[in-house]
Amino acid sequence: MVDIFTKEKRSEIMSKVRPSKTRPELKIKPLMKTLNFTYQAKGIFGKPDFVNKKKKIAVFIDGCFWHKCPNHYKAPKQNSFFWREKIKRNIKRDKEVNNRLKETGWEVIRIWECDLKKL
């Protein structure tokens, strides 16, 4: 399918996509608060969505597209090389974040966006 927007307009639209305060994060924020998790705590490597500093638990809510959910990811047909490389970098970064946090004593939990839709 051909993009209906010009390159400039698509760039403007994509620049407004933000990595925080997403619907899935906000959906479980009240639950996480009751479990003593802080939302978007500052100064934690990898910028977890929720952390419990006392128990050293970091929780990430991973979007199905951006982190390549094995059940729901659909590769874009337009600009496929760009997206393939972008998603590959995201996955590599996720592994690096997991490893670094685990090396410093943190437990890392990753939750797929699609799993929260079942709630």
The predicted pLDDT at position 1 comes to 54
* Residue corresponding to tokens 């009751």: 34
Q: Which residue from 52, 23, 49 is spatially nearest to 113, judged by alpha carbons?
A: 23
Residue 73 in tokens: 């990811």
Tally the domains of the chain. 1
User: What does the angle CA 9 – CA 15 – CA 17 come to, to the nearest 5 degrees?
Assistant: 115
Tens-place pLDDT, residues 72-82: 999 998 889 98
53 occurs within a structural domain = yes
Average pLDDT for 33-40: 95
Q: Report the alpha-carbon distance of residue 66 to residue 68 in Å, rounded.
A: 6
Contact 45, 97 (CB under 8 A): yes
The CATH number linked to 91 is: 3.40.960.10
Q: What is the DSSP letter of 39?
A: E
13 occurs within a structural domain = no
In the chain the beta strands, taken as DSSP E runs, fall at 38-39, 50-52, 57-62, 107-112
